[in-house]
Amino acid sequence: MNILITAGATVEYIDNIRFITNISTGRTASTIADLLKDKSSITYLYSKTVKYMPSKNKKIRFIEFSDFKSLNNILRDELKKNHYDIIIHSAAVSDFSVKEIISGHRRYKAPFNGKIKSDGDINLILIKNFKIIDRIREYSKNKKIVIIGFKLTSTNNKHKRLDMISDVKSDIVVHNDINEISEKNHIFNLYSNSKIICSVNNEKELAEALRKIIFV
């Protein structure tokens, strides 16, 4: 079985030094890859910012991405060129990229080549990125590819959570909410067709649950 896993946060550059990103560490994806590698061939797309990586193994092929654009291009080319049975799209992809930087009366196209002077205020013009997960089946050589997507929410309203989960275009949605993440626990809820499959308390339990689903 061929599995493609994405991991970590995109890095959206302002100039050669500064960028916008998020706090994704890649720990969830690396835990999943380590547990699945014995039964599958894995292509692991990871951000340069990840803190956790799966152990080196001949059954894992590593490819690094940086920003939204590079992740989308690599993912599109991989899916068109190679047959994948499953994609686990765990990467925390930025909703926005930097289009322009305004410094004083000057406007610069992002990313600025060099370092913008820090002697005054700057304004950033951000553009909305499309949802890569919405294009996975279009990109894929295998139109029956199983898509496992992730959704992070920030609300205690269960009806609002379900609405947000139903918008994710995947066969299985792995949901977590920042209100349910602590030092001891990281609760994940697995959904299919907006119906809950199971709930787990940490990354290792999530990896075990996905292994049972994939290798049923």
The pLDDT tens digits of the residues spanning 187-208 come to 999 999 889 999 999 999 999 9
Tell me which residue range forms the domain holding 38: 2-214
pTM: 0.93
**How would residue 161 be classed by pLDDT, with cut points 50, 70 and 90?**
confident
Distance of CA 64 to the CA centre of its chain: 13
Rg (CA), the chain: 18
Is residue 112 classed as helix, strand or coil in its secondary structure?
A: strand
In CATH, what number is assigned to the domain containing residue 93? 3.40.50.10300
Instruction: Return d(Cα 190, Cα 92) in angstroms, integer.
Output: 17
Name the helix (H) or strand (E) containing 103. strand 96-103
CA 127, 132, 133, 135 dihedral sign is positive
Domain count, the chain: 1
In this predicted model, what pLDDT tens digit does every residue of 39-96 receive, in sequence order?
999 999 999 889 999 998 899 999 999 999 999 999 999 999 999 999 999 999 999 9
Instruction: Return d(Cα 66, Cα 73) in angstroms, integer.
Output: 11
CA 35, 36, 37, 39 dihedral sign is positive
